[in-house]
Every structure is written in C-alpha cells, then in structure tokens.
Homo-oligomer: A and B are copies of this chain.
Amino acid sequence: MSWQLGPGDLPALALGATLLGTGGGGDPHIGRLLVEEAMRVHGPVTILDPDELDDDMLVIPTAQMGAPTVVLERIPAGPEPLAALRRLEAHRGQRAAATMPIECGGINSMIPLLVGATGGLPVVDADGMGRAFPELQMETFSVYGVPGSPLAIADELGHTVLIDTEADNRQMEWLARGVTIRLGGVAYIAEYAMTGRQVKATAVPRTLSLALSVGRAILQARRDHRDPFDALAEAFGRTIYTHVRELFHGKVIDVERRTTGGFARGHARLQAMTDSGEMDVTFQNENLVAVRDGQQVAVVPDLICILEEDTAEPITTERLRYGQRVRVIGVSTPQLMRTVQALDVFGPRCFGLDREFVPVEQVNQASDATMEEWEQAPVG
C-alpha cells in the first residue's frame, strides 16, 4: 500500500536514520532541511511498498557520496541529486518511475525524498544496505546481481560524470570515489538502475518505515518519560531486525579520527561507568566492530550504534567527543544481509578486518526481563 510522507514525519525519520547510520551515513540534518523546504513547495512524497511495484517499472536510486566529515561543511545546493538522476535517465533514454535509497542510514534516507519532492517521483520503501556502508559495491543490489553501472555523478555546478564498469561494482566505487574526492569530497549520484522485479529480489524491504518507527519510538518514549532503550528494543523487535543488545555503558575516553582516501576512519575508546571494563569501536565512516575487554561482541554487517545514555540520541563518528556518556547497542541485521554472498561483499574482511562474522544475538545472550519480553513478542 502506498502512503504519503510529509514534513511532520521528518524529525522522526532523521532520528531513526541517524541511528541506522551506525555512526556514519552522514548527518541527516541538512538533508532534512532541504526536504522540508522542497515539501513546502511541492507537497508530501508518495512512498511505495516494494511488494507492490510493477515488475517492469524503472527504479533509479539516488544518493550522496562522500566523507561525513566533509558533508558537515559542504552543504548541498539542492538540485544535485535530481541532476544525477536526470543524467542517468538521459543516458538510458528512459525516465524513472520512482527513486529509492541505496542506504537507509544517515543523510541518504533524505536524498531520495529530495529527489522525489522536486522531481515529482514516488520513493520506494526499501534500500540496498539496510543500514549505512561506506562503499558503493556494499549493496544487497550488488550481492544479488544488479550492476551498479552506469553510475551518474553530478555536482553543484551542473558538471556530470558517467561511469560504466559493467558488472564490476568494486571498480565503479573506486572510480566514483576518485571523482568525488576531486569534486571536493562530496558528490551526488544515481546508480543501480533496476526494474521493480529486481527491487523485490534484491532490496532490503521497508527500511524507510523502519527508520521512521525507530525514530518515533525514541521520541515517544522521551515524551512518556520511559527508557527510550526499551522502546527501541520493542520497535526493532517488530521488524526483520529482531534482536537488540546493550553492548556497553560508559564514557568516551579517546577518539582517533582522520579523513583519508575519501573516508573518515578511526577508533573510539570507551570506559565503563561501573567497573574497569573498556570497549574499542573501530569505524570507517560507519562503526565496524565493537570489542569489549578484548572480546568481539558485535561486527559488521550487524549494527553497532553509540547512543547518548539518557535520551538514546545517536552519536555519529564525526560528533564523538571525549567525556560523552553513552550506551552502545548491537542490532541484528536481516538474513538477506548475512548470507555467504552478502558477507563476501560487506562482511568484516571487506573492511580489512581479520575477523569472522558472528551474529550479535549469539555472542550476547538476552540478559534482562525487558529484553526477554520483547524477544517473545510476535515478529513481523
């Protein structure tokens, strides 16, 4: 069933998308302001359920590409992502019937809505990452056989670049990253053009809805003076993400962060509030692995989210600071993202980590009544 997403939904969506960004994905705040303004002029955006797409309709996903640390300082003018979509349409000689996120975490939850509002296109409630990832080949689209090429890049000057590496999505990422760096560290792209049939076969379904319900759960809990972490567990428990675990509760004692090769890379070190325990979180734009007292407790593609301890406000890697008091949660990703083929594309080794994927719910048994309670709740 299609539904309308309006300006009133954007605060919750931005909050949920920041959490799903697992520290990366770029802060959705700027994107949200652009979408709000576009909706003020053009009205709400129609959201399409992936199961109800026509098999032959053309869907062209749109996104921002770049290091979150740069995006903070280099604000989009607005028309760039639609220009990328139009460039790809011109190349294919075919108009898109809808756009779609390539990642549901971070600013890329907002970019397709900006394209939808300004271009008069519906947006599909699905994405290719089910979270945020730093590289363009790290897509379920790619895992399950959709080529990313041709990819169109547009900048704020109206300049465009079209990259066609045929089935080689890794080389596409490599070249597009080079262009993005030379465009100043951020650019706007359209890629992984596909049919409705391919969306159903390869996309992570209903992740715009997921971001929205996660954001709403936190906001509602704050209003109700409930623990937002309980609300979060309930919200995920009703989706294909199922399991939430608290991995750590402590304060940030060290952050090492540098922008190299077009990415924000580094580590955060946390110290427990109640004992001498420590946690180390490694990131490349997104949080990749959480190690507690030497033991791996969560690893990509499962979600590792660092949240402010009282409000559950997610903290992106570029905003991590000494002294912040946080809770780190791990969230299980859907089965689609944990297959052997998927782990070959965005498992730990794809980030240069010498680690095996172990599901977060396997390492961390549910430890309190609240968690057991929502785990027993009906799923789906």
Contact = CB atoms under 8 A, between A and B. Distances in A.
Contacts of A166: 158-159
Contacts of A175: 159, 161, 179, 182-183
A63 to B, nearest CB: 19
A164 B158 CA distance: 9
A67 to B, nearest CB: 16
Copies of this chain in the oligomer: 2
A163 B164 CA distance: 12
A157 B160 CA distance: 22
A161 B159 contact: no
Contacts of A177: 182
Contact of A159 (B157, B159, B164, B183): B164
Given A179-B178, A181-B178, A157 B161 contact: no
Contacts of A159: 163-166, 168, 171, 175
A162 interface: yes
Nearest to A164: B160
Contacts of A174: 182
Interface string A102-135: 0000000000000000000000000000000000
Contacts of A157: 165, 168, 171
Interface residues of A, number: 21
A164 B174 CA distance: 19
A168 B91 CA distance: 21
A163 B157 CA distance: 13
Interface string A136-175: 0000000000000000000001111111111010010011
A137 to B, nearest CB: 14
Contacts of A160: 163-164
Contacts of A162: 161-164
Nearest to A158: B166
A247 to B, nearest CB: 37
Contacts of A164: 159-162
A91 B91 CA distance: 8
Interface in A50-108: 91
Contacts of A183: 175
Nearest to A172: B159
A374 B111 CA distance: 68
Nearest to A149: B159
A177 B160 CA distance: 15
B158 A161 contact: no
Given A158-B166, A164-B159, A178 B171 contact: no
A157 B163 CA distance: 13
Contacts of A165: 157, 159
16 contacts: A91-B91, A159-B165, A159-B166, A159-B168, A159-B171, A159-B175, A160-B163, A161-B161, A161-B163, A161-B164, A162-B162, A162-B163, A162-B164, A175-B182, A175-B183, A177-B182
The 9 closest A-B pairs by CB, nearest first: A162-B162, A178-B182, A159-B165, A178-B178, A160-B164, A161-B163, A175-B182, A174-B182, A175-B179
Given A157-B165, A159-B165, A161-B175, 19 more contacts: A157-B171, A158-B166, A159-B163, A159-B164, A159-B166, A159-B168, A159-B171, A160-B164, A161-B161, A161-B163, A161-B164, A162-B162, A174-B182, A175-B179, A177-B182, A178-B178, A178-B181, A178-B182, A179-B179
Interface of A: 91, 157-166, 168, 171, 174-175, 177-179, 181-183
